[in-house]
Amino acid sequence: MINLIDIDINLLNLFKLLYEKRNIKEVASILNVSQSAISHSMKRLRVCLNDQLFYSTSSGLSPTTYAESISVSIINNFNAIEKTINSNTSFMPLSSHKVFNVSMTDVGEILFLPKLMSYLSEVAPNISIEIVRCDSTELQKKMELGKIDIAIGLLPELNTGFYQRSLFKQQYKLMMRKDHPLLSKKITEKLLFKYKHVAIISKDSGHSIIEKFLQNNHINRNVIAKLTHFIALPYMLSISDFIATVPEKLGTITVDNFNITTVEHPLSLPEIQVNIFWHSRSHKDIANQWLRKLIFDMFSEY
């Protein structure tokens, strides 16, 4: 039995080229070696495989029956290896079937996905986006393992080993229904607390900083409901006198579809920086580069 470990892999590549070109001179030119070096290498391979492999004819080299029988496997495997090692040198969005795993909040889904998916349907119709939601510790581990390609948000826990690029800063507004009694008055901090609030409690999102700020500054709202996501909020506010503190972009993308509006917040709340993050393992991955550049070009305000 012939063991692959006993064969110089370069000899098999030489076999592939000779089978495809059927001309020693042409192969010598491709490999930038002399014709005598080609002949010497072929002698070594003949000894290893115990077969003549090629005969000289008037029209060039002609493979033996054994050479014919092994040619398909050798050529296909070399082509597969070449494709594999060059997989990070080209990326064709139009023909790619890649699935990108992306972490973002529910507000991020509302803000990014409609525009992003609409664009992808034109330039990369077979690429799909899978949204992954997990806590901060799990997010870091999954990105380190390559199970999440990109994360978007305020994620200070993603530091060592991660890259980031700024997209925009998020201010906070006060959201309420369009005919809310507050809108007929100057909204002061004192007046703010006369109404019932809906709070979003999401410890693994940038919004948690706002909730901590309110708590640390002893700003005691009359909270009638605590939600884990923003999705139900516009529905609740549009039919009640409840109010809520929300990212301004949530208002921008929902006020036209609901009976709600946003106004300047009477409290001086911190701004939230929204960035795009990726792990160093995918920093030079060409597909990852393509998606993060696309997201930056579409949504960055810098």
85, 110, 128 - which closes a domain? 85
Residues 215 and 294 in one domain: no
d(CA 210, CA 244): 12
Query: Could you tell me if residue 92 is inside a domain?
Result: no
Residues 112 and 132 in one domain: yes
CA atoms 169, 173, 175, 179: torsion sign = negative
Query: Could you tell me if residue 154 is inside a domain?
Result: yes
52, 85, 118 - which closes a domain? 85
Long-range contacts (CB closer than 8 Å, 24 or more residues apart) made by 91-99? 91/286, 91/287, 91/290, 93/123, 93/124, 93/127, 93/290, 94/123, 94/124, 94/125, 95/126, 96/124, 96/126, 96/127, 96/287, 97/126, 97/127, 98/127, 98/128, 98/287, 99/127, 99/128, 99/129, 99/130
pLDDT for res 1: 67
Residues 261 and 277 in one domain: no
- Quickly state the pLDDT bin for 135 (edges 50, 70, 90): confident
Residues 142 and 182 in one domain: no
d(CA 262, CA 254): 10
Residues 176 and 253 in one domain: yes
Question: What's this model's pTM, rounded to 2 decimal places?
Answer: 0.73
pLDDT for res 176: 96
Mean pLDDT value of segment 32-43: 92
pLDDT for res 208: 82
pLDDT at 207 over 70: yes
Residues 57 and 199 in one domain: no
Residues 133 and 205 in one domain: no
Residues 112 and 46 in one domain: no
pLDDT for res 117: 97
Structural domain of 20: 4-85
pLDDT at 95 over 70: yes
Tally of domains within the chain: 3
